Amino acid sequence: MTTKPLPHLTPTGTCWCGCATKVGAGSFFAPGHDKVAEAALLAAEYGSSVAHLLHGHGYGPGHSVSARAVAKGVWRKCPSCAYVGALAGIANRTRKAHPATPVADPT
Ligand SMILES: [Zn+2]
Ligand SMILES: [Zn+2]
């Protein structure tokens, strides 16, 4: 699978969930409406099934989407266990799950 760069999107001043709410410059969504739109997309295109969402993008039990996120560098793998996630989540989780393990800060 190839990595294609995401196109640049520009906020339009109106909520992208389609509700026509005016939003501030620099925002795509009224508060919480990104989750509404995400759920609506899942419902409209994938029968509200994350399995269908994954399958539709070529992922599944034999092709890990989380491994893909780590490979692209947008997610990290916990150095001490199998957990993968966004860097902030790793740091929070590591503090709880492995209090003795310092988290390397890549910045
Ligand atoms: Zn909206
Ligand atoms: Zn861990």
Q: State pLDDT tens for residues 7-47.
A: 999 999 999 999 999 999 899 999 999 999 999 999 999 99
Residue 36: alpha-carbon gap to chain centroid: 15
Ligand nearest to the CA of 100: 2
Distance 29 CA to ligand 1 centre (A): 6
Which residues, chain by chain, have CB under 5 Å from ion ligand 2? 78, 80-81, 83, 97
Ligand nearest to the CA of 30: 1
Q: Is 77 left (phi over 0), alpha (psi -120 to 50) or beta?
A: beta
pTM recorded for the entire structure: 0.72
Distance 72 CA to ligand 2 centre (A): 20
